Amino acid sequence: MGNCTSFTLPKWRLSELHSNGMVSIDDDETHEGIKTIRIQKACEFTTSSVLCVCIITWNMNGKMSVEDVTKLVSSNRKFDLLVIGLQEVPKCDVAQVLQETMVETHILLCQTAMQSLQMFLFGAKSSEKYIRELKADKHPVGGCGGIIGRKKGAVAMYINFSGIRMVFVSCHLAGGEEELRMPAHSHSLFSKNDTQYTKSADITVWLGDLNYRLEGISSIPARKLIEENRQSKPRGKDQLLQEAEKGEVFNGYCEGTLLFKPTYKYNIGSSNYDTSYKIRVPSWTDRILFKVDHSSGLDAILSTYEALDCIRSSDHKPVRAHLCLKVHDDSA
């Protein structure tokens, strides 16, 4: 495994975020919200001018299934880097299972963990020679989650890969619909005084269980629309997109169109939504968002944004995105 040192991620105010479930990470006074982008089916994994990154987030619900962990990674591994963010990880060696699964094509470059929140970075076997810098950090959040050893918070990695500077943040934010309705008060997750990593990153990717729910729709009507593959109405009730439109959270970030079914909450061992007495409203709690600094000359093509319905050991479905990062040739 390559060197993975610690870096001081700017002073995250996650203690404040924990109380309201919101994240605001843009100093610009204007706001664009989250830009929903189309998925381009064809991946341009063809030349050395393209860096392909596969990103996966999954809330494991404290259960370990070796079969499901191996399913996280497709047999079609046409990517340079693989980032896996896991929440509610049980006390077992997930890293070993992932390494054994990836051994023929990729190696573990870095890993960071904070109790049940873990993140792994894999690279193609020849990738170590392209790494100019690689660092990791973590930040816990207290609360009742800490009592049972599953603090919410975030872990992060910074990597300079062949001159492309990337920050990956994997988080587990607080749940609860009432908390999520509270205003963000423009809290900044990144300190304005620390620009070494966050402000100089060519691309920043957020992944994890963000815990945003559907608001203004009850469970039965929502399920009926989902069963009929009429996703547009539930998408309009998504709290994350609503708050972003107000300029409260993830301003200027991009996300693929939510064409897959909501990823939470399922009966364990099935692809059926919650049938407990709570009959929870299905929600897209698990998300992958990214923001490109276009002044770097970098572009991002999203070729995959999907939920892995075949994985059934948790009450969450994993979400996978495939980004192709393309550097413009200004001389062309």
pLDDT tens-digit map of 16-30: 333 444 345 554 546
Residue 70 lies in a domain: yes
pLDDT of residue 245: 87
Residue 332 lies in a domain: no
pLDDT of residue 65: 95
Q: Find out whether the peptide bond into 317 is cis, omega within 30 degrees of 0.
A: no
> Which residue in 123, 120, 195 sits closest to 162, CA to CA?
123
Tens of pLDDT, residues 30-49: 667 899 998 887 665 555 45
Q: Considering just the CA atoms, what is the radius of gyration of the chain in Å?
A: 19
pLDDT of residue 331: 44
CA of residue 271 relative to chain centroid, distance: 21
Residue 303 lies in a domain: yes
- Tell me the C-alpha distance between 187 and 25, whole Å: 8
Q: What is the reported pTM?
A: 0.86
CA of residue 57 relative to chain centroid, distance: 5
Residue 199 lies in a domain: yes
Residue 66 lies in a domain: yes
Supply the DSSP symbol for 180.
Answer: H
For residues 136, 139, 144 and 148, what is the CA-based torsion angle, rounded to 10 degrees?
30
Residue written as token pair 């982008």: 37
pLDDT tens-place values along the chain, 332 residues long: 555 776 544 333 333 333 444 345 554 546 678 999 988 876 655 554 579 999 999 999 999 999 999 999 877 888 999 999 999 999 999 999 999 999 999 999 999 999 899 999 999 998 999 999 999 887 776 544 443 445 688 999 999 999 999 999 999 988 754 343 322 332 333 333 334 455 579 999 999 999 999 999 999 999 999 988 887 889 999 999 998 888 878 888 999 999 999 999 999 999 999 999 999 999 999 999 999 998 888 889 999 999 999 999 999 999 999 999 887 655 44
- Tell me the C-alpha distance between 245 and 249, whole Å: 8
Task: Locate 226 and state its tokens.
Answer: 């989902």
- Tell me the C-alpha distance between 263 and 61, whole Å: 13
Per-residue burial over 168-179, b if 16 or more Cβ lie within 10 Å, else e, is bbbbbbbbebee
CATH number at residue 210: 3.60.10.10
Residue 206 lies in a domain: yes
* Number of domains the chain contains: 1
The values of phi and psi at residue 168, to 5°, are: -115, 125
Residue 26 lies in a domain: yes
* Mean pLDDT rounded to a whole number for the chain: 81
Question: Which residues span the domain enclosing 191?
Answer: 5-327
pLDDT of residue 332: 42
For residues 261, 264, 268 and 269, what is the CA-based torsion angle, rounded to 10 degrees?
20
